[in-house]
């Protein structure tokens, strides 16, 4: 800092204190190292230097953050709260450095400390506050909102433990706690002044006031504090910094006062744990709801704290007049996890702000919007009514009232149709009564969206058809996207450089500009350079694989990659069957025209999902056998990458040749990994599922390896599915099944894969793995052939990147902003 006078920022209106040159970076690094952290030269550990660098960057973020907040305060734009139980943010340092355009200066400053930016960046733990696609989508959306300059605040939970870390022991998954906050976290700002109180348990009383008006009081509650921690979300080189507000739970001081006074001090202190537990750990299921009480507490905790936050800001600015509330606010529900928001907003308006039911309902249904992320029945949330009655008695009353009024409307529309009434009710009375959160979300929202074209169609025709018939205008599609800053510019500097030589840098803000690369696909010099970049990215990926799994990948071979959560519907098994088949060909000497490949799988299994865990074990056993066999080493190598996460994907997607998107058609709502691979020039082998369909349309059928049944064919075949016959009729599949069944891969644990074989052979196999085996194997032969034609492969690879513009989350967010949120941003 040369002097302490503020200077005008480039934006003109704001004053900035901090310079962006190398000298001020150097002095700030020193200052933070010595004073903020209190360290000496002997402490030149990378962790302290990382923290000093993070704080230096953070100071510059904070300036822009305050400016953005002030601007929103004065301009009063319509604002959106994105409510999500998951935000899979990954690392922040490099992202901030890129978005504030300060890489060069920081690198220069760091040379004086004798350390590279990469080394320091590696000190940062991923913020892994999510399971997979849904959580990462929320993170990409926040990036796009900030980059487009639109006022969206993320609301989530500050879990002490994020997604578990995965180790592999003897081929099996072992879960370790993710203590991501252990070294402190420079990106979180505690905001105790905005602490909220969230109520649980207790009971309700009705008071009649002097005018005869009913008032419900929810009393004798167990209260929990929600303390906000704010994380800055910088836009791409636009001086905007939005906020992700994460709530941490804490006990109130009065907590269990009764017990204190009864003298049971230790019991009372121990009971504090119940409050603190709420934000302790992320539930590690990505596709099933296990009905745990703590999970419902998390959902209500997040929702109530966030709605109170928005309402109290409203009241402090606009007083108790809610007439324009819906013009200025919108809530986007990331799946049904925060769907209790519908009832909670009603409660706050009716009970706390004394609005009438009808007025409150108008406001609620004008501000709530719901995104669905799955059609899998096991992921649809239903909560036992009894659990609600005990934990959230007031919310249950409100849900009953919402349901009664809703069913009244349904009965008017379809008189006498009791089946329909039963099917649409928010309460499922077929067994122990349960609350269907998706129904609550639809009834209380003005918008319901799916996340890819096929997915939205299937919602309208299938799962939600009754609701679609009642309210067709509510339903809309918003095909997912990913941020091109993290998923191309940052993770693939080599390709970025090459692209910018060809077409300049405007694609970072408008990814459709990548179209202009298309002519270069034909240019053989450009193809050669394109392949050279891929080659060096494959070297980086090979290092990652070697480091984490011990398997050596040869970068001359085809890199065939499937990384995502392990789930039967994603069909990692189909991939493994193909690997076994290739190995069988090698053993038989049937290797003419076989293209050498390295097959990489990675992903976490939900800790209670036995079949998924067994698939990991099978992958590892198959890998061990093949990698130890010298006959295979020049043709086939297989690795399971432990602890797949956001940071690993940054290296993986840049170094992949072939992207595996092979889910059973109709089951993967969208997929977003598929988009990251495409952006980085991988070719896709995939089914007609989720966004694969749109990817194929964008790049052209001839540049996409399609195989397998489509969603309709899957449903038709289901009725007569006979895998035993398919296996018997296919020599290759028979051989593969025999190898599995004869214990070829058991490695001493006899019969361990029986349940897998049984599942593949079952006529009830929901995922119909055997049905697509032949098509998959044949298509893989075509992949191999094309890969040997380096120029053709390069051409198609370039075309994939060039056609990926539609899959920018900027496009997705523009659609949310104009079509759902109705923001007056002029960005449409």
Interface contacts to ligand N85, rule CB under 6 A: 131-135, 137, 283, 285-287, 289, 373-374, 379, 451, 480, 668-672, 690
- Considering the complex, what minimum distance in angstroms separates the CB of residue 117 from ligand N85? 31
Helices (H), 239-331: 257-261, 265-277, 293-318, 325-328
64, 196, 486, 565: the active-site residue: 565
- Considering the complex, what minimum distance in angstroms separates the CB of residue 287 from ligand N85? 5
Instruction: Phi first, then psi: give them for residue 376, nearest 5 degrees.
Output: -65, 125
Cβ-contact 186, 57 below 8 angstroms: no
Cβ-contact 567, 612 below 8 angstroms: yes
- Considering the complex, what minimum distance in angstroms separates the CB of residue 695 from ligand N85? 12
56, 153, 672, 687: the active-site residue: 672
Q: Which is nearer to ligand N85, 28 or 381 (CB)?
A: 381
Q: Which is nearer to ligand N85, 90 or 671 (CB)?
A: 671
Q: Which is nearer to ligand N85, 134 or 142 (CB)?
A: 134
**How far is Cα of residue 738 from the mean position of the Cα atoms in its chain?**
38
Farthest-apart Cα atoms in the chain, separation: 92
295, 297, 347, 373: the active-site residue: 373
Q: Please confirm, yes or no, whether 565 is among the known catalytic residues.
A: yes
Residue positions counted in the chain = 828
Q: Which is nearer to ligand N85, 383 or 787 (CB)?
A: 383
Cβ-contact 451, 479 below 8 angstroms: yes
Q: Which is nearer to ligand N85, 137 or 616 (CB)?
A: 137
570, 597, 617, 637: the active-site residue: 570
Q: Please confirm, yes or no, whether 564 is among the known catalytic residues.
A: yes
Query: Can you spell out the DSSP letters for 457-484?
Result: HHIIIIITHHHHHH-GGGEEE----B-H
Instruction: Phi first, then psi: give them for residue 383, nearest 5 degrees.
Output: -110, 135
Q: Please confirm, yes or no, whether 624 is among the known catalytic residues.
A: no
Question: H/E element holding 29?
Answer: helix 22-31
Q: Which residue has the tokens 């791409």?
A: 236
Q: Which is nearer to ligand N85, 192 or 608 (CB)?
A: 608
Cβ neighbours, 10 Å, residue 179:
12
Q: Which is nearer to ligand N85, 286 or 568 (CB)?
A: 286
Query: Can you spell out the DSSP letters for 773-806?
Result: HHHHHHHHHHHHHHHHSHHHHHHHHHHHHHT-GG
- Facing residues of 247 across strands? 157, 228
- Considering the complex, what minimum distance in angstroms separates the CB of residue 79 from ligand N85? 23
Q: Which is nearer to ligand N85, 249 or 371 (CB)?
A: 371
Structure tokens at 767: 């995922």
Cβ neighbourhood burial of 678 (10 Å; 0-12, 13-18, 19+): buried
Q: Which is nearer to ligand N85, 338 or 642 (CB)?
A: 338
- Considering the complex, what minimum distance in angstroms separates the CB of residue 105 from ligand N85? 36
Instruction: Phi first, then psi: give them for residue 514, nearest 5 degrees.
Output: -60, -20
- Considering the complex, what minimum distance in angstroms separates the CB of residue 381 from ligand N85? 7
| 655: DSSP letter | G
Q: Which residue is nearest to ligand N85 (CB)?
A: 133
Taking alpha carbons only, the member of 637, 614, 530, 526 closest to residue 568 is: 614
Structure tokens at 650: 């940054």
Alpha-carbon Rg for the chain in angstroms: 28
Cβ neighbours, 10 Å, residue 481:
29
Going from the C-alpha of 318 to that of each of 157, 366, 705, the distances in angstroms are 28, 18, 56
| 249: DSSP letter | E
Cβ neighbourhood burial of 472 (10 Å; 0-12, 13-18, 19+): exposed
Q: Which is nearer to ligand N85, 381 or 772 (CB)?
A: 381
- Considering the complex, what minimum distance in angstroms separates the CB of residue 670 from ligand N85? 4
Q: Please confirm, yes or no, whether 676 is among the known catalytic residues.
A: yes
Beta-carbon contacts of 602 under 8 Å, excluding residues fewer than 6 positions away, are 562, 563, 640, 641, 642, 644, 648, 652
Question: Which SS3 state, helix, strand or coil, does residue 755 take?
Answer: helix
Q: Which is nearer to ligand N85, 133 or 171 (CB)?
A: 133
- Considering the complex, what minimum distance in angstroms separates the CB of residue 566 from ligand N85? 13
Cβ neighbourhood burial of 163 (10 Å; 0-12, 13-18, 19+): buried
Q: Which residue has the tokens 């004008």?
A: 366
- Considering the complex, what minimum distance in angstroms separates the CB of residue 377 from ligand N85? 12
- Considering the complex, what minimum distance in angstroms separates the CB of residue 77 from ligand N85? 26
- Considering the complex, what minimum distance in angstroms separates the CB of residue 135 from ligand N85? 6
91, 474, 564, 667: the active-site residue: 564
| 604: DSSP letter | P
Distance CA 287, CA 320 (A): 41
Distance CA 514, CA 807 (A): 11
- Considering the complex, what minimum distance in angstroms separates the CB of residue 667 from ligand N85? 9
Q: Please confirm, yes or no, whether 203 is among the known catalytic residues.
A: no
Query: Can you spell out the DSSP letters for 525-581?
Result: HHHHHHHHHHHHHHHHHHHHHHHHH-PPPPTTSEEEEEES---GGGTHHHHHHHHHH
Q: Please confirm, yes or no, whether 373 is among the known catalytic residues.
A: yes
- Considering the complex, what minimum distance in angstroms separates the CB of residue 180 from ligand N85? 18
| 224: DSSP letter | E
Angle (deg, nearest 10), helices 524-549 and 493-503: 170
Q: Which is nearer to ligand N85, 95 or 285 (CB)?
A: 285
Q: Which is nearer to ligand N85, 67 or 286 (CB)?
A: 286
Question: H/E element holding 637?
Answer: strand 636-641
676, 795, 796, 811: the active-site residue: 676
Catalytic residues: 373, 564-565, 570, 672, 676
């Amino acid at each position: 800092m040369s002097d302490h006078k503020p200077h005008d920022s480039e934006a003109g209106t704001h004053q900035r204190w901090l310079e962006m040159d190398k000298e001020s970076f150097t002095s700030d690094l020193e200052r933070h190292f010595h004073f903020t952290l209190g360290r000496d030269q002997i402490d030149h550990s990378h962790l302290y230097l990382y923290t000093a660098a993070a704080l230096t960057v953070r100071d510059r973020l904070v300036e822009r953050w305050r400016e953005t907040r002030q601007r929103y305060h004065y301009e009063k734009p319509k604002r959106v709260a994105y409510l999500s139980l998951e935000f899979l943010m990954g690392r922040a340092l490099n992202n901030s450095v890129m978005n504030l355009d300060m890489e060069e200066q920081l690198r220069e400053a760091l040379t004086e400390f004798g350390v590279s930016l990469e080394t320091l960046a590696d000190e940062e733990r991923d913020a892994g506050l999510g399971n997979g696609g849904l959580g990462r989508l929320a993170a990409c959306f926040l990036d796009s909102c900030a980059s487009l300059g639109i006022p969206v605040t993320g609301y989530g939970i500050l879990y002490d433990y994020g997604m578990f870390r995965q180790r592999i022991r003897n081929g099996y998954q072992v879960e370790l706690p993710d203590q991501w906050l252990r070294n402190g976290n420079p990106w979180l700002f505690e905001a105790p002044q905005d602490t909220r109180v969230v109520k649980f348990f207790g009971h309700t009383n009705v008071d009649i006031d002097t005018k005869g008006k009913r008032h419900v009081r929810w009393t004798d509650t167990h209260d929990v504090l929600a303390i906000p921690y704010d994380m800055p979300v910088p836009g791409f080189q636009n001086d905007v910094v939005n906020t992700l507000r994460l709530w941490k739970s804490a006990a109130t001081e009065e907590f269990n006062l009764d017990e204190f006074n009864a003298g049971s001090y230790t019991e009372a202190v121990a009971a504090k744990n119940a409050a603190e537990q709420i934000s302790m750990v992320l539930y590690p299921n990505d596709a099933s709801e296990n009905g745990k009480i703590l999970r419902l507490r998390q959902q209500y905790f997040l929702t109530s704290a966030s709605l109170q936050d928005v309402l109290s800001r409203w009241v402090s600015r606009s007083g108790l007049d809610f007439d324009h509330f819906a013009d200025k606010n919108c809530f986007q529900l990331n799946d049904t996890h925060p769907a209790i928001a519908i009832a909670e907003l009603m409660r706050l308006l009716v009970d706390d702000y004394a609005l009438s039911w009808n007025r409150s309902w108008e406001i609620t249904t004008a501000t709530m919007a719901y995104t669905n992320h799955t059609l899998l029945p096991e992921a649809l949330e239903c909560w036992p009514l009894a659990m609600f009655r005990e934990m959230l008695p007031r919310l249950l009353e409100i849900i009953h009232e919402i349901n009664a009024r809703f069913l009244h409307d349904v009965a008017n529309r379809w008189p006498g149709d009791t089946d329909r009434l039963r099917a649409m009710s928010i309460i499922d009375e077929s067994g122990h009564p349960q609350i269907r959160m998706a129904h609550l979300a639809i009834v209380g929202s003005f918008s319901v969206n799916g996340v890819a074209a096929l997915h939205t169609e299937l919602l309208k025709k299938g799962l939600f058809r009754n609701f679609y018939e009642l309210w067709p205008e509510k339903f809309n599609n918003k095909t997912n996207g990913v941020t091109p800053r993290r998923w191309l510019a940052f993770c693939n500097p080599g390709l970025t450089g090459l692209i910018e030589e060809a077409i300049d840098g405007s694609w970072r803000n408008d990814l459709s500009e990548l179209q202009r690369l298309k002519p270069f696909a034909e240019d053989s010099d450009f193809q050669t350079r394109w392949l050279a970049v891929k080659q060096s990215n494959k070297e980086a990926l090979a290092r990652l694989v070697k480091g984490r799994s011990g398997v050596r990948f040869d970068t001359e071979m085809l890199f065939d990659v499937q990384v995502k959560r392990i789930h039967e519907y994603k069909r990692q098994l189909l991939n493994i069957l193909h690997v076994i088949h290739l190995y069988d060909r090698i053993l038989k000497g049937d290797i003419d025209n076989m293209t050498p490949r390295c097959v990489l799988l990675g992903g976490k299994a939900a800790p209670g999902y036995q079949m998924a865990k067994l698939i990991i074990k099978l992958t590892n056993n198959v890998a061990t056998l093949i990698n130890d066999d010298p006959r295979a080493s020049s043709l086939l190598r297989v690795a399971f990458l432990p602890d797949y996460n956001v940071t690993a994907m940054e290296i993986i997607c840049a170094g992949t040749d072939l992207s595996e998107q092979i889910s059973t058609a109709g089951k993967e709502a969208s997929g977003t990994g598929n988009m990251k691979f495409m952006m980085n020039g991988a070719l896709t082998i995939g089914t007609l599922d989720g966004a694969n369909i749109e990817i194929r349309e964008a790049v052209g059928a001839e540049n996409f390896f399609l195989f397998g049944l489509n969603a309709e064919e899957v449903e038709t075949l289901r009725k007569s599915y006979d895998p035993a016959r398919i296996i018997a009729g296919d020599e290759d599949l028979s051989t593969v099944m025999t190898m599995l069944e004869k214990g070829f891969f058991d490695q001493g644990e006899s019969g361990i894969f029986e349940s897998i074989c049984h599942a593949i052979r079952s006529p009830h196999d929901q995922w119909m793995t055997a049905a697509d085996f032949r098509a998959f194997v044949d298509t893989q032969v075509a992949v191999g052939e094309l890969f040997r034609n380096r120029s053709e492969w390069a051409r198609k690879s370039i075309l994939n990147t060039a056609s990926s513009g539609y899959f920018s989350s900027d496009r997705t967010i523009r659609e949310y902003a104009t079509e759902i949120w109705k923001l007056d941003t002029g960005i449409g």
